[in-house]
Amino acid sequence: MADIIVVGGGAAGMMAAGVAANQGAEVLLLEKNEQLGKKILITGKGRCNLTNNCGIEEIIANFPKNGSFLYSALYTFTNQQLRDFFAELGVPTKVERGGRVFPESDSARDIVAALKRYLEENGVKIKLNTAVAKVLVEEKQVTGVEDRDGNCYLAKRVILTPGGAVYPSTGSSGDGYQMLERIGHTITSIKPSLVPLKVKEEWASEAQGLTLKNVEASLYFNDEMIRTEFGELLFTHFGVSGPIVLTLSRNVVNNLGKGSLKLEIDLKPVLTEQQLDDRVQRDFEQYSRKQFKNSLSDLLPSKLIPIVIELSSIPEDKFVNQITKEERAELVRILKGLTLTIIGTKGLKQAIVTKGGVSTDEIDSSTMESKLISGLYLAGEVVDIDAYTGGFNLQAAFSTGYLSGINSIN
C-alpha cells in the first residue's frame, strides 16, 4: 500500500508526486493515458510557456476569479523556483515578450522528459492506462481510489489532479468533477475559457489564415466597451482566434446570451484618425492614377484589401484621384474599427483552459487539502481557477501541485 496516491500525470500531478516522493513518501501515480504529460506536449504550440517572469502579485492579477486563493501556492513555489527546478533538471529556460518563459530548447518534450526523470529519481511508482473512477471515502476520511475496472488502490492520502474538461483528447475530460461531486464537493459551472470566437460576418472566413500583428481589439457588450487588448489576432474559417482574442474570450463567455457582443479591430492602433488620414492621403497621392483596389497594398495585407473595399462604399474601380474627402474619412473609420458580431465561442474541445471547477471555498488554500474529506488534496485545473494566457495556468498547476505534494506527507 502506497502512502500517497496521485491521480493524473499532468503538470500538477507529476509535480505533486515527485515532491512527495522526494520528501520520503511511497507514491503511486495513476494515469489514464498511455503516457504522462500529454497536454504539456501541446502547450505553447509545442514550446511550453511554462510560467511568466513577472512578480507574484501580477501573476495573481492574471487570474480574473479566485486569484487570491493562490497566494500560498504561488509564494511557496514561485515562478523563479519553477525555473530553477527545471534548470537543475537540465532544462534551462528563457524569457520572451510579455515575460513569457519557455525552455531554451523551445521543446515541451524536454519539460515532460525532465518531470519524468524527477519521478524516476525519486522512486515514484507509475501505473499508466489506469482511469480512476471513484474516490473511496469512509467517515469523511479518504481511503483510496477505484479504477474503471473495479480495482482498488488504498492509501490514506490521495492527491487528485485530473485536469479540467478542455482538450479531452489529452486525457482531461472532466472525470474529476464527477468523482468529486459524488463525494459531496461543489463544482461551479464548467465553461470553456481562452477560446476562439465565432462571428456572424462571412468576410472573416474569407480572411482565414491571416494573422494580424500589433492590432488592437476592443470588446463591446451592449455597445459599451468592456476590454481592449493589443497584439496578435488570427482569422479562421469560423471567426477569430489568436492571443488577444483568447484573452478577450473570457469576458465573452461571461456575457454570452445576455446582450449584443461586438469586436472592433483597430488595424492601425498607433496612429490617431488624423495621422492615419494623413497617411492614406500620402498613399492616394502616390497612387492617384490607379484604381482604388490597386491603391491599398502599402496599407493592408492582400487578404484584407477586397474585404475593406467591400465594407466601404467606394467602388473598387474608382480612380484614386476621384475619391472624395468623405469617402477617405469612411475608409479611415473602417481601418480604425473593423467590426465583427460575436455569435458564440468554440466549445470545450478547442479551449485552452476550463472556467469553473471544484469550489475554492471547499479547499484549504494553505495546503490544498479538501475541507470536506480529510486526506484528499486537489490541485491544478480541476480547481476553480483559470488565468489569461502568458504561462499563468501552468504555473498555477505546478504551484498547487507542489503545495499539495509537500503537505500530503504530513
Ligand X SMILES: Cc1cc2nc3c(=O)[nH]c(=O)nc-3n(C[C@H](O)[C@H](O)[C@H](O)COP(=O)(O)OP(=O)(O)OC[C@H]3O[C@@H](n4cnc5c(N)ncnc54)[C@H](O)[C@@H]3O)c2cc1C
Handedness of CA 397, 392, 120, 41 (dihedral sign): positive
Instruction: Indicate if the alpha-carbon torsion angle 336, 193, 9, 150 is positive or negative.
Output: negative
Contact (CB, 8 A) for 119 and 112: no
Question: Using CB under 6 A as the criterion, what x/- string covers residues 5-34 for binding ligand X?
Answer: --xxxxxxx----------------xxxx-
Q: Tell me whether strands 211-221 and 197-199 are parallel, antiparallel or unpaired.
A: unpaired
The grid cell for 369 is: 487539502
Q: Binding of ligand X at residue 66 (CB under 6 A)?
A: no
163 binds ligand X (CB under 6 A): yes
Q: How far is Cα 401 from Cα 51, in angstroms, rounded to an integer?
A: 14
Pairing of strands 51-52, 100-103: antiparallel
Q: Which is nearer to ligand X, 132 or 363 (CB)?
A: 132
CB of 67 to ligand X, least distance (A): 15
The nearer residue to ligand X, 64 or 269, going by C-beta atoms, is 64
Residue 381 touching ligand X (CB under 6 A): yes
Pairing relation of β-strands 338-345 and 261-266?
antiparallel
Residue 112 · residue 40 · CB < 8 Å: yes
Among 397, 399, 407, 408, binds ligand X (CB under 6 A): 397
Number of residues that bind ligand X (CB under 6 A): 38
Amino acid present at 1: M
DSSP, collapsed to helix, strand or coil, labels residue 169 as: helix
Beta carbon nearer to ligand X, 9 or 239: 9
SS3 263: strand
Binding residue (CB under 6 A) for ligand X from 175, 216, 266, 362: 175
In this complex, which beta carbon is closest to ligand X, that of residue 32 or of residue 116?
32
Closer to ligand X by Cβ: residue 96 or 273: 96
Indicate the DSSP class of residue 363.
Answer: B
Residue 111 near ligand X by CB under 6 A:
no
The reply to whether 391 sits near ligand X by the rule CB under 6 A is: yes
Give me the sign of the Cα torsion angle 275, 281, 284, 285.
Answer: negative
- Among the listed residues 43, 34, 172, 28, the one whose alpha carbon sits nearest the alpha carbon of residue 102: 43
Q: Considering the rule CB under 6 A, would residue 216 count as an interface residue with ligand X?
A: no
Tell me which residues in 280-339 interact with ligand X (CB under 6 A): none
Site string for ligand X, 336-375 (x = CB under 6 A): ----------------xx----------------------
Where in 124-153 is the site for ligand X (CB under 6 A)?
A: 131-132
Residue 162 as a binder of ligand X (CB under 6 A): the answer is yes
CB 112 within 8 Å of CB 36: yes
CA distance 60 to 63: 6
Q: Which of 193, 200, 158, 199 is nearest to 179 (CA)?
A: 158
62 vs 218 by CB, closer to ligand X: 62
74 near ligand X (CB under 6 A): no
Candidate residues 246, 280, 394, 406; the one interacting with ligand X per rule CB under 6 A: 394
Of 62-70, 200-208, 289-297, 385-393: span binding ligand X (CB under 6 A): 385-393
384 is a site residue for ligand X (CB under 6 A): no
What does the binding site for ligand X look like in residue numbers (CB under 6 A)?
7-13, 30-33, 38-39, 42-44, 48-49, 131-132, 161-163, 166-167, 170-172, 175, 352-353, 380-381, 391-394, 397
